[in-house]
Structure 1
Amino acid sequence: MIIKVCGMRDPENIREVAVLGIDWIGLIFFAGSSRRIIDNGQSTMDNSQSTMAASRIPNCLLPIINCQLKRVGVFVNASQEEMMEMANTFRLDYLQLHGNETPDDCHALQKRGFSLIKAFQIATACDLEQTVGYEGRVDYFLFDTKCNSYGGSGKQFDWSVLEAYRGKTPFLLSGGIRPESAGAIRSFRHPRLAGIDLNSGFEIEPGLKDIGKLKEFLKAIQNHNS
């Protein structure tokens, strides 16, 4: 099972998380997120431009780029040019799309050679119908809790509605997963479950993960992590 820790931005914190045996880290590029990649309160992007050349990456961010974990870039309604620039700059392995990106948008990115994760907000089984048009257009779906914003709510949706998911695309389970969710993770079964996405439930503050909580959680679910 893939373990993804999202909302990472501190190089030392990433180093600490990496040794826990997780698989992917999520780097958020959405300007509306409190977990956006920043440095001392300043955007890692050039203040006058929306993109940043690799030659101008601050030294403090180089450990992120050189991290051996798979890097997932999280975007919301970003242009293809911006995503391409960030993918090249940060050596992203996946683009995770949280906005109104269409199946055609995803297909265009596929043709450029990108691996994709498309996020969907879920509350009822009816919400799963929106995934149909994306079959074959992305590598993974990510099922998150339905809310009124593009960012996560920190709340868990009723995972039992996923019994209605009959698609072929594997998915990551997201939304309000916390240390106390270990039992529910061990009990959850679905043939297309590929992994879990961890974020705010394991934070000391936005963007800074609690290593102790992550370590104990990973230990608690290890029998399910196969």
Structure 2
Amino acid sequence: MSAVLDLKQVSVQFGSHTALHAVNLNIHAGERVALVGANGCGKSTLLRVAHGLLSASQGQVHAAPSVRQAMVFQRPHMLRTSVLRFVMWGLWLQGVPWRAAKAQAMVALHRVDLQDLAERPARALSGGQQQRLALARAWALQPDCVLLDEPTSSLDPHAKRDVEQMMADWVAASGVTLLFSSHNLGQVKRLATRVIYLEVGRVLADLPVDHFFHQSLAESHPQAHLFLKGELV
């Protein structure tokens, strides 16, 4: 498998606080990698560095030049525009002509079942609808790699199921690479092929999903085991 993302000895410093400590991480095409850990462990920082939104204080971040990336945030920022134009703007900024962008945007809205709300203000949508809209815009860009920061954490159970199903369908349809953070361990089991456990900015476990949830984790990675049991101090 070819490498999509490669982080070598990456550290991120915010003043006196070190958010990431010498992280080494290699993501290959087609993998579905979940980042787990307590709040403040560095998951969001790692995603932002991987997407180029933050610069590493030390180390190197390499993204394959031929790989298109898109990122979906926990609470997507909605522009003061319609649902349709919200998707169109992303395409237009990538060089797609306006008329073609409209056609492609409508296809993306159909994919997330928002086509009937195309002319509604994006900011008037519910939280679940806004997350589906953000996924539609990302999908319209036809990325090879998608980064998602807690994509369902602020949603009600029904909306969570919808968004999770869209993620699964996306992978099944296109084989896209996923790198996502989540506190929902059931979601991690269902969607991930690999799990990375972070604690205070350090990667303490990097395992296939079946190994991460296996009883032998207590011996091989005791801190990750305590996290799974809800006993992490």
Common fold: TM-score over 0.5 = no
The structure whose Rg is larger is 2
Give the TM interval when normalised to the shorter protein.
0.3 to 0.5
Provide TM-score, normalisation by structure 2.
0.33
- Structure having the larger proportion of residues in helix: 2
Provide TM-score, normalisation by structure 1.
0.34
- Structure having the larger proportion of residues in strand: 2
